[in-house]
């Protein structure tokens, strides 16, 4: 189960970037806000870099604009609880030291749309 979730996490983390048509970077204080877009113009991923490493909250969206994942990075490492949506189900994945520590069962919830 952990291997499947890890593959899912990696696919969202890297796959969405590879499909992007445009990337927008904006300086905000000491961080750089990055926004990646799908070919249709919808946001694919959005988050921050600090000292060239992923930092803070990152959000990922499908090409329809629905939120599919949200989580936090600290100095480039996944930390805390990440949420992954698939249809009306959500999966919680807890990270410790950039590794999957626990995965919760899917829960039925109302779909989350854009930001």
> What pLDDT, on a 0 to 100 scale, did the predictor assign at position 20?
44
CATH class of the region 2-108: mainly beta
**3 state SS of 14:** helix
CB atoms inside a 10 Å sphere around CB 37: 20
Whose structure tokens read 């899917």? 106
pLDDT bucket at 113, cuts 50 / 70 / 90: low
Q: What is the pLDDT of residues 48-98, one digit of tens each?
A: 999 999 999 999 999 999 999 999 999 999 999 999 998 888 999 999 989
Whose structure tokens read 């890890």? 6
> When comparing pLDDT for 111 and 42, which is higher?
42
Domain ranges of the chain: 2-108
pLDDT bucket at 4, cuts 50 / 70 / 90: very low
- Residue 6 region by backbone torsions, left for phi larger than 0, else alpha for psi between -120 and 50, else beta: alpha
pTM for this predicted structure: 0.72
Q: Are 103 and 1 in contact (CB under 8 A)?
A: yes
Mean pLDDT computed over 18-46:
90
> What pLDDT, on a 0 to 100 scale, did the predictor assign at position 97?
86
């Amino acid at each position: 189960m952990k291997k499947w979730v890890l593959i899912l996490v990696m696919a969202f983390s890297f796959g969405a970037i590879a499909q992007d048509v445009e990337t927008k970077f904006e300086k905000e204080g000491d961080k750089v806000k990055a926004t990646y877009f799908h070919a249709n113009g919808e946001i694919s991923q959005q988050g921050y870099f600090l000292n060239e490493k992923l930092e803070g909250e990152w959000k990922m969206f499908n090409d329809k604009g629905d939120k599919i994942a949200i989580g936090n990075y600290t100095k480039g490492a996944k930390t805390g609880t990440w949420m992954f949506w698939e249809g009306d189900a959500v999966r919680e994945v807890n990270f410790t030291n950039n590794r999957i520590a626990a995965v919760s069962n899917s829960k039925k919830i109302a779909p989350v749309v854009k930001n």
